Amino acid sequence: MSNRLFSALIAALVVALWLAGRLVSNEYVFFVGYAVVQYILLATAWNLLGGYAGYINFGTAAFFALGAYIAVAINKLVDLPVPVLILAGGVAAGALGLAMGYLTLKLRGVFFSIATLAMAIVFQAVITNWSFVGGASGAYVLRPNEGPWGGSYVEYLFYLMLSMAGGAVALARIIERSRVGYGLASIRDDELASEASGVPTLRLKVLATVLSGALMGMAGAPLPFYVAYLDPPSAFNLSYAVNTIAMPLVGGTGTWLGPVIGAVLLTAVQQGAMVTISSAANLLLVGLLMVAFITLAPNGIVGLVRGLANRPSTGGNKK
Amino acid sequence: MTNSIGRRAALAGMVGTAAVTQSRLAWAADPIKIGFSIPQSGGLAALGRQALLTMEIWANDVNAKGGMLGRPVQLVTYDDQSNPANVPPIYTKLLDIDKVDLIVTQGTNLTVPAMPIAMQHGKMVLTMLALAINDKFKYPRFFQTMPYGPRGKQSISEGFFDVAMGMNPKPVTVALVGADAEFAKNAVDGAREEAKKHGLKIVYDRTYPPPTVDFGPVIRGIAGTNPDIVYIGSYPVDTSGMVRAARELNFRPKLFGGGMVGTQATTLKADLGEMLNDVVSYELYCPAVADKFPEVEPILKKYQPAAKEKGIDPQGYYVPPFTYATMQILEQAVTGSGGLDQDKLAKYMHATNFKTIVGDVKFGPDGEWDHQRLLWVQFRGLKGQGMEQFTNPSAEVVLHPVEYRTGELRYPLGPGKQ
């Protein structure tokens, strides 16, 4: 399937979901749906660097929170529509990705991961001391009841997030099947050999970091309107980093489909656990699934299915 | 699904089961459902689990008396994992799917995300342990039951400074220090205003990052400015660190204390033990005022054995009395207004002087108490470590407000071992 046809299908799916959503009167559906598509976007964004290039980024919360806080800061200065704030969050987080890329991408493996984790901690300290966006006390964002096209505001936020998630998935598929994607895959397999073969490794890694960071920032921008209140401990919540790593691992890294499957599966499990088991079992479930998939299916669900599909037939050919 | 008296599988087949407390009595009428998101895991779980247990005790008590309006009370709860992002979907589910009649919330950062949803549904919001939320929302159906009064931020320091200014000679200088986090920052902001109001010279005014573990440098920095009094806005870990550092460095200003979260928790108090001697902090309830609030003790008698079993605060002086009072207010509002009409309920709440186990409660126009009533206490006569000594009324002497005073301020700060 060509990228153009795939993108058209994604757009059609978004439109179909929008039409279906018109028939839904229960707002809970949009709240749960928002969580699912938010994680599709975050997991897809993480996969651009972590899955395609093999650079494990623990700093998801920094990019996500930057997008959220840029939205808060701009919203305090001037009343702009959320899509504009999303773009601003994306630009700021992309710029952070650029800076982080140049500073840290010469590190490899666990050293790179530690650097990204440190960046999130430093960034949280900065936000905690930035009183304009509420600092340690947090910021209130009073959202309107209704969205600009009718329906509730949360419904509006859901469609915005759905559109971004659809766009991110289409972008990830385009990258995966492009020269950039092949270059990133070669970096993941053997960076030295890749560089020796003429692949511009640093440039590709920085590109992936910028795109990944920008998408994470865009995912964070609507958060203040969704929660109505933003403080550093919740914006930089560890669960964002853990989930965005777990989802591609469970679904399958290195492919656009893996994060989508992982995000839908894990978010559904978590949302279900929250209203049934009602305990800390939520993150425990994520941990157990991660351990299970890393040991039993290191290539995730996508890898598992491909492995089963490619397994040679064992009977019926004997002569 | 949990049930504090009997277990029923009433919601077992539903999509998403909830924590439900029901009486064994056979009821002809449908239950009145009270829904809330409450932290049972994560950083705020210690408070949330105490509140939940107390609410279950209240529900059992009410159902044993015949319920409200002749209908049983049912609690429908979900664990928000102390994460504000989980709160909006939970309250939407409570209101749209579980169809709860009434909602309750807890904590500042876990109440704010529920506010737009409650306002959209026109629901009255009754909340506990939250500070100055309605300053932003100005929602006429919002009510908060902690006794912070109309001037939220200042309430966490007002009594402390009133006590300090009673010293002879009066203090001249003050050091302000607090964690870079929501409650502590509000506390120190309020203290700054109070210091200015009383004409005190601020000689130290700094914050420290929440993950700080070594408070020696902080205390040395404060001691270097030689303040008469020290006001601290802190969370449990730093409260412990600050007190320990002050004792280790033998730092003894005239008055040491403030809005120190953790000095209300039995385990932390027991751990610090005699190091707390002469430290001044706030309480909502303590054995020293037991005779003023005689109805609290029977509730604590029910709470304490269950709390020990569940591994939560075994004495429960901080959260349970006011949580039970919150639910009493709800009960009186429902029965007094004669139904579940949210507008009538809110009007009744504004107009009524509620009788609760923690005394009379009257709400002001902003939904907060119409006056401030935090208890400012000074720890006295503590020996070594251990929690039993805190059941002794003389372990915490109430200094402020005047009507609850059980002793005078002792100053300057004496040595830990006395």
Indicate if B93 and B239 belong to the same structural domain: no
A261 inside domain: no
Indicate if B160 and B256 belong to the same structural domain: yes
Q: Supply the mean pLDDT for chain B.
A: 90
- Percent of chain B exceeding pLDDT 70 equals 93
What's the pLDDT score for residue B9?
A: 36
- Percent of chain A exceeding pLDDT 70 equals 96
In tens, the pLDDT along B8-45 reads: 333 333 333 344 444 444 566 899 999 999 998 877 88
| Cβ-nearest to A227 among B42, B85, B137 | B85
CA distance to partner chain A, nearest, from residue B71 (Å): 25
Neighbours of A79 (CB within 10 A): 7
Count of domains observed in chain A: 1
Q: How far apart are CA B305 and CA A278, in angstroms?
A: 24
What's the pLDDT score for residue B15?
A: 32
- Percent of chain A exceeding pLDDT 90 equals 48
Q: Supply the mean pLDDT for chain A.
A: 88
Indicate if B242 and B391 belong to the same structural domain: yes
A289 inside domain: no
In tens, the pLDDT along B359-385 reads: 999 999 999 999 999 999 999 999 999
Residue A295 has pLDDT above 80, yes or no: yes
Count of domains observed in chain B: 2
| A231 contacts B209? CB cut-off 8 A | no
Domain around A56: 3-237
Which carries the bigger pLDDT value, residue B251 or residue A253? B251
B26 inside domain: yes
In tens, the pLDDT along A123-140 reads: 998 998 888 998 887 888
| Cβ-nearest to B84 among A137, A142, A229 | A229
B144 inside domain: no
Question: Average pLDDT of B266-291?
Answer: 95
CA distance to partner chain B, nearest, from residue A271 (Å): 9
Indicate if B344 and B389 belong to the same structural domain: no
CATH number, domain containing residue B302 = 3.40.50.2300
What's the pLDDT score for residue B210?
A: 75
CA distance to partner chain A, nearest, from residue B392 (Å): 36
A89 inside domain: yes
Cβ–Cβ < 8 Å for B271, B265: no
Which carries the bigger pLDDT value, residue A94 or residue A314? A94
Range scoring the smallest mean pLDDT among A98-107, A115-124, A235-244, B258-267: A98-107
- Identify all chain B residues contacting A76, using CB atoms and an 8 Å cutoff: none
Question: Average pLDDT of A88-111?
Answer: 87
Give the Å distances, CA to CA, from B21 to A227, B11, B59. Answer: 28, 12, 7
| B18 contacts A275? CB cut-off 8 A | yes
| A223 contacts B113? CB cut-off 8 A | no
What's the pLDDT score for residue B26?
A: 57
What's the pLDDT score for residue A314?
A: 57
| B181 contacts A136? CB cut-off 8 A | yes
A23 inside domain: yes
Indicate if B41 and B106 belong to the same structural domain: yes
Which carries the bigger pLDDT value, residue B202 or residue A275? B202
Question: Average pLDDT of A161-176?
Answer: 95
Residue A270 has pLDDT above 90, yes or no: no
Alpha helices in chain A, H assignment, sequence order:
3-22, 27-50, 60-77, 82-104, 109-128, 153-176, 179-189, 191-196, 201-220, 223-227, 232-235, 238-251, 257-275, 281-296, 300-310
Nearest CA among A167, A63, A145, A49 for reference residue A105 = A49
Indicate if B74 and B57 belong to the same structural domain: yes
Residue B105 has pLDDT above 80, yes or no: yes
Q: What is the DSSP string of B180-222?
A: SSHHHHHHHHHHHHHHHHTT-EEEEEEEE-TT----HHHHHHH
What's the pLDDT score for residue A128?
A: 86
Q: Does B212 touch chain A (CB under 8 A)?
A: no
Closest B-chain CA to A145? B120
CB pairs under 8 A between A and B: 114
- Identify all chain A residues contacting B87, using CB atoms and an 8 Å cutoff: 227
A193 inside domain: yes
Range scoring the smallest mean pLDDT among A277-286, B70-79, B83-92, B364-373: A277-286
What's the pLDDT score for residue A280?
A: 61
Cβ–Cβ < 8 Å for B113, A227: yes
- Identify all chain A residues contacting B184, using CB atoms and an 8 Å cutoff: 136
Indicate if B334 and B261 belong to the same structural domain: no
- What is this structure's pTM? 0.83
Indicate if B18 and B68 belong to the same structural domain: yes
Mutate: best of B3, B36, B79, B137, partner A, most A CBs <10 A? B79
Mutate: best of B182, B206, B235, partner A, most A CBs <10 A? B182
Q: Does B236 touch chain A (CB under 8 A)?
A: no
Closest A-chain CA to B181? A136
A274 inside domain: no
- Identify all chain A residues contacting B187, using CB atoms and an 8 Å cutoff: none
| A27 contacts B96? CB cut-off 8 A | yes
Residue A29 has pLDDT above 50, yes or no: yes
CA distance to partner chain B, nearest, from residue A224 (Å): 9
Which carries the bigger pLDDT value, residue B337 or residue B13? B337
What's the pLDDT score for residue B11?
A: 36
Domain around B229: 152-290+373-404
Residue A316 has pLDDT above 70, yes or no: no
Indicate if B211 and B279 belong to the same structural domain: yes
Give the Å distances, CA to CA, from B17 to A83, A273, B11, B103. Answer: 36, 10, 6, 17
In tens, the pLDDT along A181-212 reads: 999 999 999 999 999 999 999 999 999 999 99
What's the pLDDT score for residue B281?
A: 97
What's the pLDDT score for residue A279?
A: 60
Q: How far apart are CA A300 and CA A293, in angstroms?
A: 6
Indicate if B118 and B170 belong to the same structural domain: no
| A227 contacts B87? CB cut-off 8 A | yes
Range scoring the smallest mean pLDDT among B8-17, B52-61, B262-271: B8-17
In tens, the pLDDT along B168-184 reads: 999 999 999 998 877 88
Indicate if B385 and B257 belong to the same structural domain: yes
Closest A-chain CA to B17? A276
B212 inside domain: yes
Q: Does B179 touch chain A (CB under 8 A)?
A: yes
Residue B70 has pLDDT above 70, yes or no: yes
- Identify all chain B residues contacting A275, using CB atoms and an 8 Å cutoff: 16-18, 78, 90, 93
| B273: alpha, beta or left? (left if phi > 0; alpha if psi -120 to 50) | left
Which carries the bigger pLDDT value, residue A56 or residue A271? A56
Say if residue B244 is exposed, middle or buried (CB neighbours under 10 Å; 0-12, 13-18, 19+): middle
Residue B5 has pLDDT above 80, yes or no: no
Cβ–Cβ < 8 Å for A241, A61: yes
What's the pLDDT score for residue A283?
A: 67
- Identify all chain A residues contacting B180, using CB atoms and an 8 Å cutoff: 125, 128-129, 135-136
What's the pLDDT score for residue B27?
A: 64
Question: Average pLDDT of B135-140?
Answer: 90
Residues from A in contact with B at Cβ < 8 Å: 26-28, 31-32, 35, 125, 128-129, 135-138, 140, 142-143, 145, 152, 154, 223, 226-229, 231, 233-234, 237, 239, 271-272, 274-276, 278-280, 282-283
